[in-house]
Amino acid sequence: MARKPQPVRKAVLPVAGMGTRFLPATKAVPKEMLPVVDKPVVQYAVEEAREAGIEQFIFVTGRGKAIIEDHFDHAYELEMLLKSRDKTSELNSLLEGLPVTGAVSFTRQQKPLGLGHAVWSARHLVGDEPFAVLLPDDLMVGTPGGLSQMMDVYNDAGGVVVAAEEKPLEEVKRYGVISPGEIKGKAVEVKDVVEKPKPSKAPSRLCIIGRYILQPEIFVELDRKEAGAGGEIQLTDSMARLIGRVPFHAVKTDCARYDCGDKVGFLQANIALALARPDIGPALKDILRRVPL
């Protein structure tokens, strides 16, 4: 019988990007702290990871991102105030989002040299075990969540598992694109990956989105610090070098995915999640019906 893959206990959340597409909003506020309805984008990723069994959350931060640390800590004065005013549901909304003491750690990327470099910055905190990477910009909504659906494939196949989505050909130049092999249920075998190809050079329309389950061997590849597309150290290039050495699959989850790093995607996420909420959805629907288009 095949050995069960080593469990994935740790998640890396790279949050060191500059968020230039959201300026001036992101001049003093990290884009990961922008709210979708009433929760910062980054909190959705932490909740998705927790649902998938993650125990340790490793944030790769940079300058100006300290409020992310405050967000995942107790705010005693606020908690006391809410308690004294019997604002139980508000208090619970603070406490429910909080990882247990010791489950969160932070490291700094120091230089924004790209996603691969951000992940490499977490190597000492990850150590010699498999780990997940969640890009909080990609908000995934589904039951079970995106990372849980990927874990199902990982528990069977082990190795590397990425989330993927079919995109229109004109959009593939923004993504890592997969050369697909055999399809096994929800999983597609990955034969190759190409970062940001021209549409004419794309091996398919199947694009990697912001969820990964990786093996520690990736750090050896990232250690080369080779710049790829856009002069950045790309995670895709290092992942590509693991193909053939470890099993490598992509999962087309059935989650809705919103690109909250982009203004339209961010607005779409706010509208979709607000409409789905019983407390505010009906009122918003009413307002939207009356918006002149």
Count CB atoms within 10 A of the CB of residue 111.
Answer: 12
**Pairwise CA distance, residues 212 & 114, whole Å:** 16
Residue type, 43: Q
Closest approach of Cβ 273 to ligand UTP, in Å?
19
Give the 3-state secondary structure of residue 249: strand
DSSP class of 163: E
Stretches 129-137, 149-157, 162-170, 181-189: which one binds ligand UTP (CB under 6 A)? 129-137
| Alpha-carbon gap, residue 148 to 139, rounded angstroms | 14
What's CA 71's distance to the chain center, in Å?
A: 17
Among 36, 135, 150, 177, binds ligand UTP (CB under 6 A): 135
Residue recorded with tokens 């130049």:
173
Q: x/- string (CB under 6 A) for ligand UTP, residues 11-30?
A: ---xxxxxxxx---------
Site for ligand UTP (CB under 6 A): how many residues?
A: 20
User: Residue 251 CB, nearest distance to ligand UTP (Å)?
Assistant: 19
**Does residue 230 touch ligand UTP according to CB under 6 A?**
no
Place of tokens 């990232």: 222
We find the least distance from the C-beta atom of residue 73 to ligand UTP, in angstroms, to be 20
Q: Does 82 bind ligand UTP (CB under 6 A)?
A: no
Min CB(31)–ligand UTP separation in Å: 6
Residue 50, both tokens = 């927790």
Our CB check for ligand UTP shows the closer of 20 and 89 to be 20
Of the two residues 18 and 275, which places its CB atom closer to ligand UTP in the complex? 18
Residue whose C-beta lies closest to ligand UTP: 17
Residues 6+ apart with CB under 8 A from 264: none
Q: In which element (H, E) is residue 82 found?
A: helix 76-84
Site for ligand UTP, rule CB under 6 A: 14-21, 60, 109, 112-115, 117-118, 135-137, 261
